[in-house]
Chain A
């Protein structure tokens, strides 16, 4: 189905980005106008993502630009993530940047700086451009453009990372850009290999770069080349996704970037690159059978998980701790994908969604802490319970959610992953993973207790950080709870569709059961989504 909304979805942030750069002509009104523009853009983006997702639910896919842009269920899932997280980050940014403006940009070589008007403009402009590139990555049907978009995310976010202009911020930005461009260059290499293989098979060369066309001809691709290509792709895009050992930019970047940016990086960008990897893995699965990609996923998943939890042990910096929690979760997602089968893929995608909700929330919270304490060190940040009870409540809830305590959403996706592992016979791997997760659990809990409890430093004033910085957190918190307790039918349909897409090459039979339908049962009126679990109940 041709979808003009899809085009608008890309253009809105792009226009907002350009406009943001030029508003300084308005002098004193710059900031309000910037903020208005910003709000309008993120809201429009959010609405458009929902529209596009709705179209996908109705018609199966949304197309634009003669198939160069295409959103199927898998894509829609990611589009929605980008839209929602972009919107919430957008809201959060307003409060955050106001506070940082109040702190002011200083030229001194301090650990954590503030902002000035110029940088604010850059921030808003790049914010939207960043959003645009991510949306492009997940809507593009052209594998080369996909790569371009991913590379562009790096470039657009580079200055966001270094926005504070302090020594650590610049260092982080440099590392981020260099490592990611290098990594993504590997990705390019892999992409080229796939494309060059496809171009020999597909008569219409203009279509050879379309993912849909490659998938159609996947079985005739050269296996060796594809293997080579996939290795490059996994390593390349894996760099961006924060898979260990290519993750090394990640802690520096997440900790030094302004919090809304960290939230987007960890909550969304990671997903977008994973999306690319998943897209390629579908091709590989079709061409080589599932085992090749799955084994790679499993290996890297376990490595990521294991290394990440050890990085988290004894980490003194809140943001770095949260940053390392990303490879941990990516590892889990990869393991789930590596386990394969409908359950595994579903578990992986669900974990991906849940992780992005919770991790975004956590970075918002760390931003609030930063605003209050001007520090990220666990030695300094103490007694949040006294200083800002609400923030501290959210932080605790976030920690619980992140470690997968019920009733939060990660509990269920974690559970599904373990179930998938057991169903596929990886008992011991699952036990090892759970034990490794215990370390993450320990580290996060230590952080949670250290920050919220204890005696707060005397110079810190009591008080919350304001509506715009708390509301997005509250929304995410509610989301985390809701997805833990119920699963909205639309999301279920999207997930089902996505699983179908990912699983397409493997099993001939699509998911059993009808599409999700809500039914009320029991006094709680639990939303019942039949197809969601039905594929296990029927074995």
Chain B
């Protein structure tokens, strides 16, 4: 089984090397093939884990002496998230095949297939898989930083002043934050004499607190939480499939994932971490909500939405510190669901940009008339993200809130925060749905009326994701039950 896990991690890396070597005309197909194979591997891991009663296992792989540097952990969480990250990676690679072309009106200056794009993208997919599957702190740290580096290459893809600046901002901010993880990992190593996460539980509370503060700082930076959030809206200078993958589905989840993974390994965690996490999450949530309103750029709006959704995940994870397993499951489910929902939303934004050449919301009217598929996917994405059943967002949000109420049983003050979070979800809904109402139905605006058709590969990705956005909520909930 570990072979398949490893194949899921290493195939994308292999692909990234192949992309550099192979002729230019093979690049696209190679990338798609490799990610498809990786996806099959991880899905098989998921399937077989499900068949064997979801009993997790760890396999150490890389040693220095008796110290495990890297190993894989396959459990409910890593198998679930690993498969969704790679699956989405595959879809993004497919989507990119159509998106990166001369027909793209959003970026007319584009010149053909670029190795760099696929190289960074595939490396990123591999790194993300490696991160999720890691059973050691060192693995988390190394892949955490690697994802940052890849994101730099991808954000700056278009080579203009703006995107380069955004790329630098993103990498500097996230790397600055990752200092926290770096120090925490080093301390962990010094204190436990190894890197295995399983040793986390043996540490005493004071040390745990400090380690978690380091981890949280890194996680906040990566997951664009206040006050390290500002890189994410600017990172929208990236090609849209990248925004979909990195800034909605996977990379920003790296932060929450390490937090979750460490929480899981640590057993009991001092409540002060929970308090800090909950408060920061609520503050970010509301900040993100307020920032919805002035946004004219579709993608920036989505970026802020991502920020708030990530705060939900932080919120839930912090709640789990107060003793609610439900909240933890909710957080994991939300990682899963939001990846698909928000990913779809971004891909819709990409499709809109592709065919109309604009991402400005005031110019987008009547998408449904001109581009029914995009319009429908828009609706699905909006519903999924805002948490309307039967779309996936609802299930995880509901679980989070239920977990919040569970946790609030012991700490009544939390109740207020949970209610605030529910208020935020209404606000989120109100605005995103307003955007939906004003851009999807009705008569087309000039820009939309003049839209071109989107590429078949983009349609493929959109349809698959729309279906997943409908089904994944049930799946995640059942899987984590």
Interface residues of A (CB under 8 A from B): 385, 389, 393, 396, 400, 405-407, 411, 415, 418-419, 421-423, 427, 430-431, 434-435, 438, 441-442, 445-446, 449-450, 453-455, 487, 513, 519, 521-524, 526, 528-534, 536-539
CB within 8 Å for A521 and B63 given contacts A405-B146, A422-B190, A537-B193: yes
The answer, among A406, A419, A430, for a CB contact under 8 Å with B146, is: A406
Instruction: List residues of chain B with CB within 8 A of the CB of A450.
Output: 164
The answer to whether B65 touches A407, judged by C-beta atoms less than 8 angstroms apart, is no
- Per CB-CB distance, the 7 closest pairs between chain A and chain B, nearest first, are A406-B142, A530-B65, A522-B61, A418-B186, A526-B62, A419-B186, A434-B179
Instruction: List residues of chain A with CB within 8 A of the CB of B149.
Output: 400, 405
Looking across the interface, which residue of chain B has its beta carbon closest to that of A382?
A: B159
Inter-chain CA distance A415–B184, complex, in Å, is 11
CB within 8 Å for A445 and B142 given contacts A438-B179, A529-B65, A533-B67: no
B98 within 8 A of A: no
The answer to whether A539 touches B193, judged by C-beta atoms less than 8 angstroms apart, is yes
B424 within 8 A of A: no
Instruction: List residues of chain B with CB within 8 A of the CB of A446.
Output: 168
Instruction: List residues of chain B with CB within 8 A of the CB of A528.
Output: 63-65
Interface residues of B (CB under 8 A from A): 2-3, 6, 20, 59-67, 69, 115-116, 138, 141-143, 145-146, 148-149, 152-153, 156, 159, 164, 167-168, 171-172, 175-176, 179, 182-183, 185-187, 189-190, 193-194
What is the minimal beta-carbon distance from A165 to any residue of chain B, in angstroms? Answer: 37
Looking across the interface, which residue of chain B has its beta carbon closest to that of A485?
A: B62
The answer to whether A406 touches B64, judged by C-beta atoms less than 8 angstroms apart, is no
CB within 8 Å for A523 and B185 given contacts A438-B176, A445-B168, A453-B159: no
Instruction: List residues of chain B with CB within 8 A of the CB of A445.
Output: 152, 168, 171-172
The answer to whether A536 touches B66, judged by C-beta atoms less than 8 angstroms apart, is no
Instruction: List residues of chain B with CB within 8 A of the CB of A385.
Output: 116, 159
Instruction: List residues of chain A with CB within 8 A of the CB of B179.
Output: 431, 434-435, 438
The answer to whether A523 touches B2, judged by C-beta atoms less than 8 angstroms apart, is yes
Instruction: List residues of chain A with CB within 8 A of the CB of B185.
Output: 415
Instruction: List residues of chain A with CB within 8 A of the CB of B152.
Output: 445, 449
The answer to whether A532 touches B64, judged by C-beta atoms less than 8 angstroms apart, is yes
- 18 A-B residue pairs with Cβ-Cβ distance under 8 Å, sorted by A, are A385-B116, A393-B20, A407-B146, A418-B186, A427-B183, A438-B172, A441-B175, A453-B156, A454-B164, A513-B65, A521-B63, A522-B63, A523-B2, A528-B65, A534-B65, A536-B190, A537-B65, A539-B193
Looking across the interface, which residue of chain A has its beta carbon closest to that of B116?
A: A385
The answer to whether A534 touches B66, judged by C-beta atoms less than 8 angstroms apart, is yes
CB within 8 Å for A418 and B175 given contacts A534-B66, A536-B189, A537-B193: no
Instruction: List residues of chain B with CB within 8 A of the CB of A393.
Output: 20
Interface residues of B, dominant DSSP: helix
Inter-chain CA distance A532–B63, complex, in Å, is 11
Instruction: List residues of chain A with CB within 8 A of the CB of B193.
Output: 536-539
- Given A406-B142, A524-B6, output 6 extra A-B contacts at Cβ < 8 Å: A405-B145, A418-B183, A427-B183, A449-B164, A526-B63, A533-B67
Looking across the interface, which residue of chain B has its beta carbon closest to that of A516?
A: B65
Inter-chain CA distance A143–B159, complex, in Å, is 54
Inter-chain CA distance A411–B148, complex, in Å, is 14
Instruction: List residues of chain A with CB within 8 A of the CB of B183.
Output: 418, 422, 427, 430-431, 434
The answer to whether A423 touches B190, judged by C-beta atoms less than 8 angstroms apart, is yes
Instruction: List residues of chain A with CB within 8 A of the CB of B116.
Output: 385
The answer to whether B61 touches A526, judged by C-beta atoms less than 8 angstroms apart, is yes
Inter-chain CA distance A363–B405, complex, in Å, is 60
What is the minimal beta-carbon distance from A446 to any residue of chain B, in angstroms? Answer: 6
Inter-chain CA distance A329–B137, complex, in Å, is 25
Looking across the interface, which residue of chain B has its beta carbon closest to that of A393?
A: B20
What is the minimal beta-carbon distance from B43 to any residue of chain A, in angstroms? Answer: 20
Instruction: List residues of chain B with CB within 8 A of the CB of A411.
Output: 142, 145
Inter-chain CA distance A441–B167, complex, in Å, is 13
Inter-chain CA distance A400–B175, complex, in Å, is 12
Instruction: List residues of chain A with CB within 8 A of the CB of B61.
Output: 521-524, 526
The answer to whether A422 touches B59, judged by C-beta atoms less than 8 angstroms apart, is no
CB within 8 Å for A533 and B64 given contacts A385-B116, A449-B167: yes
The answer, among B3, B6, B190, for a CB contact under 8 Å with A419, is: B190
Inter-chain CA distance A419–B183, complex, in Å, is 8
The answer, among A400, A523, A529, for a CB contact under 8 Å with B64, is: A529
What is the minimal beta-carbon distance from A343 to any residue of chain B, in angstroms? Answer: 9
Instruction: List residues of chain B with CB within 8 A of the CB of A532.
Output: 64-65
Inter-chain CA distance A524–B175, complex, in Å, is 29
Instruction: List residues of chain B with CB within 8 A of the CB of A430.
Output: 183, 186
Looking across the interface, which residue of chain B has its beta carbon closest to that of A531?
A: B65
